[in-house]
Amino acid sequence: MASSQDRSAIVPKEVSPELFEPLVTVVATLGVLGATSGDIVVAGSQRSLRAGLVALVATIKRAMSHPHGEATTLRRALATAGDAWATVATVTRKWREAVAVVATAWATVEGDAVALREACGLVATTVATTGVTMGHLLAAVDQEGRAKQELLVATRELPLAAELASGTSEVATHRARVVQASEGLQAATEATEKTAVAMVETAEVKERGQRAAMAQGALGRLVAACHGATSFYRHLQHLLEDIEATVATVRGSPEAPEVAQEGLGVPKDLMAAVATAETLWNTSALLAKGHLLEPLRMTRGLLVTLGVPNATVATTVAQRCHDATAAIPGLLARGQQ
């Protein structure tokens, strides 16, 4: 059996560990977002950041599971005798369709992540330009103080005893002034209370705005990682489209059946392209199933918890992602087999 070093030497030169790192970064960044406390109300169908991220996790999980494409058998089909080119064409088409499903899922995740980033940016911007300040509260308190003083003055301006006894117009005027001053004080007091409540609400909103600004930065990293994952599978999809076109050309050649029967004459470029495609597909599957799906599940647990996040779980997710990155070179060797 070949050693790990021997096997790593036959990994196609077009493949490098860096190609797979966006898949790890996606999970690691979701873990960072899940490790922050609180939630952010955002515009859109998801209504909150955490709800949107939970939906992302569900789509990512489906994409990482490689549905309808558990194994690739193209190289074996190329080595099959008889009328193998028909089989090769079918295997290539089904594989390319499976990859297209995964690529489309990642493109959806990328678009949804962009929407969440923009929604958080809107929250952060809106909060920075609106709200009740201490100046508003001081103005309301000052107005209430003036209203108290006006009531005090109106109350002290008592009519003479003779005027009270005779019920003259001065008495009516005095009573009206007192009533007006009392109503003014009541209105000023209510305004102060409302301003105080609004100021508390503003403080809470500003806190949400600060969280939104911080989340916006992490979401920017998530968008970039999702774009990398989408590009990875789009590249694999285009590679399979080229393989499919080459297979169609060879299959249409009059010599194709005899070439397949003898097991000779398969273009070297075709075999190299197939080896590259299988390495990309198999390694990404090994990375996901062996290293990323479990921390992704743990990340979902963090996201659905509205209280203080479990620091131990958050640390475990970060460590698992670090280990996943370190494991990629070894997975590449296995993925090529």
Extents of the domains making up the chain: 4-126+209-231+269-335, 134-198
- Mean pLDDT of all residues belonging to the chain: 79
Examine the pLDDT at 4 and tell me if it is beyond 50: no
pLDDT of residue 213: 82
Q: What is the dihedral of CA 241, 242, 244, 249, to 10 degrees?
A: 150
Crossing angle, helix 311-335 and helix 268-287, to 10 degrees?
Answer: 160
pLDDT of residue 85: 80
Mean pLDDT for the stretch of residues 244-269: 66
Q: List the alpha helices (DSSP H) in the chain.
A: 4-8, 21-34, 49-64, 74-78, 84-129, 134-156, 161-166, 169-251, 256-262, 268-287, 293-303, 311-335
User: What pLDDT digit, counting tens, does each position of 148-169 carry?
Assistant: 666 666 676 655 554 555 556 6
Lowest mean pLDDT among 42-51, 99-108, 175-184: 175-184
Cβ atoms 100, 237 nearer than 8 A: yes
Q: How confident is the model at residue 79 (pLDDT cuts 50, 70, 90)?
A: confident
Examine the pLDDT at 326 and tell me if it is beyond 80: yes
Both ends of the chain: CA-CA distance in Å? 12
pLDDT of residue 106: 96
Token couple for 62 = 């489906």
Mean pLDDT for the stretch of residues 20-48: 88
Please state, in angstroms and rounded to a whole number, the distance separating the CA atoms of residues 216 and 40. Answer: 11
Q: How confident is the model at residue 299 (pLDDT cuts 50, 70, 90)?
A: very high
User: What pLDDT digit, counting tens, does each position of 91-141 carry?
Assistant: 889 899 999 999 999 999 999 999 999 888 888 776 545 555 555 556 655
pLDDT of residue 74: 81
pLDDT of residue 263: 47
If one compares 202 and 237, the residue with the highest pLDDT of the two is: 237
Question: How many Cβ atoms sit within 10 Å of the Cβ of residue 208?
Answer: 20
Please state, in angstroms and rounded to a whole number, the distance separating the CA atoms of residues 279 and 14. Answer: 10
Please state, in angstroms and as integers, the Cα–Cα distance from residue 243 to each residue in 16, 248, 254, following that order. 20, 9, 19
Examine the pLDDT at 46 and tell me if it is beyond 60: yes
pLDDT above 90 covers what percent of the chain? Answer: 39
Contact partners, residue 91, CB within 8 Å, separation at least 6: 72, 73, 74, 77
Nearest to 336 by CA among 290, 257, 281: 281
Examine the pLDDT at 83 and tell me if it is beyond 90: no
Examine the pLDDT at 236 and tell me if it is beyond 50: yes
pLDDT of residue 289: 93
If one compares 312 and 136, the residue with the highest pLDDT of the two is: 312
Cβ atoms 74, 274 nearer than 8 A: yes
Examine the pLDDT at 50 and tell me if it is beyond 70: yes
